[in-house]
Amino acid sequence: MRRLALTIGLILLAAPASWAHGQLDVLIAEATEALRSRPHDTAILWKRAELYRAHKEWEPALADFAEIRALAPDDAWLDLAEAEVHLGQGDLEKARAQVARFLRAAPDSHRGHELLARIEMAAGNSAAAAEAYRMAREHHPSPPPSSYLYEADAHEAAGEPARALAAVDSGVEALGNLPALVLRAIDIARRTGLPDEAFARATLLPPSFSNTPAGLALTGDLYRDIDRPFEAAAFYTDALERLYDTKHPDDWNDSDRALAARLERHLSESLAFTHEVSE
């Protein structure tokens, strides 16, 4: 049953948003039809309950889970599944209570700790959420980058930027210099007023990113943060040239156009400063 729940959940997470209503309705109808001949098939009931949850039909989802509980009362994963529904409904107390019950039965479940973290974040308990995310990461057999990023989010929300930075650094240490992690560490350091920390982490970025327009622009931003407009202007110029060399402006997407506009604005500011200094 646990494997079925995980499989259905992963499929639904991967489905595009446009899939949600039309295709989910079809799948719910198919599961309902199958239950006509197999009304006590817990696998089909679980599938339909998860489909209802994805469709945000909370009461039908809870009804199916209640039916499964009557047929398989010892299935601890029902607590986790029902907690997901209660979280979706906004009933945080019920969600928290059911996750707590699940974690008593399965204290090493990273999914249980992660759901608890989401509940605490929704409740505004950021510090508790950060701890739950840390527990989820520690119990995960192979924590993905998002594990460290979510923990950092919670620490930042709790007003703990140093701990947020430490969480991301743990990810870098465990998973290597992944741009998503290194860039987040740079972002935290910049917003916390730690330019040296930001520069130190920027050296960890692979050349495949550092030499792109976005990478060169970031280096310019780091110099701009420490009031070194000459170096900033040089990197902004390189970034803009690289952007034009990479694509014709007619082929730019919205991100390219936004980057070009930002670079031109920063270059204009840097040149104005340079002119003032020279006078």
Q: Does the pLDDT at position 177 exceed 50?
A: yes
Whether 40 maps to a domain, the answer reads no
Q: Single out the residue of 213, 199, 195 nearest to residue 249, CA to CA.
A: 213
| Residue % of the chain over a pLDDT of 70 | 89
| C-alpha span between 164 and 197 (Å, rounded) | 13
Torsion sign (Cα): 245, 249, 251, 255 = positive
Alpha helices (runs of H) in 226-253, residue ranges in sequence order: 229-246
Q: For residue 199, count CB atoms less than 10 angstroms from its CB and return exposed for 0-12, middle for 13-18, buried for 19 or more.
A: middle
Whether 275 maps to a domain, the answer reads yes
| C-alpha span between 29 and 57 (Å, rounded) | 14
Whether 16 maps to a domain, the answer reads no
Whether 78 maps to a domain, the answer reads no
Whether 260 maps to a domain, the answer reads yes
| C-alpha span between 118 and 257 (Å, rounded) | 35
Q: Does the pLDDT at position 194 exceed 60?
A: yes
Total number of domains in the chain = 1
For tokens 């140093």, the residue is 162
Quote the tokens at residue 181. 């992690």
Q: For residue 273, count CB atoms less than 10 angstroms from its CB and return exposed for 0-12, middle for 13-18, buried for 19 or more.
A: middle
Q: Does the pLDDT at position 247 exceed 80?
A: yes
Using DSSP, state whether 271 is helix, strand or coil. Answer: helix
Under DSSP, the state recorded for 81 is: H
Whether 259 maps to a domain, the answer reads yes
**Each residue of 225-234: pLDDT tens digit?**
999 999 999 9
**Each residue of 59-105: pLDDT tens digit?**
999 999 999 999 999 899 999 999 999 999 999 999 999 999 999 99
Neighbours of 142 (CB within 10 A): 8
Quote the tokens at residue 262. 């930002």
Quote the tokens at residue 226. 């420490």
Task: Give the pLDDT score at 188.
Answer: 96
pTM, two decimal places: 0.81
* Cβ neighbours for 224, distance < 8 A, ≥ 6 positions apart: 232, 266, 270
HEC string of 12-37 equals HHHCCHHHHHHHHHHHHHHHHHHHHH
Expressed as residue numbers, the domain containing 254 is: 206-279
Average pLDDT over the chain reads 90
3-state DSSP helix/strand/coil % of the chain, to nearest 5: 80, 0, 20
Using DSSP, state whether 56 is helix, strand or coil. Answer: coil
Quote the tokens at residue 104. 């008593």
Whether 89 maps to a domain, the answer reads no
**Each residue of 9-62: pLDDT tens digit?**
544 544 555 445 678 889 989 988 998 999 899 999 999 999 999 999 999 999
Whether 263 maps to a domain, the answer reads yes
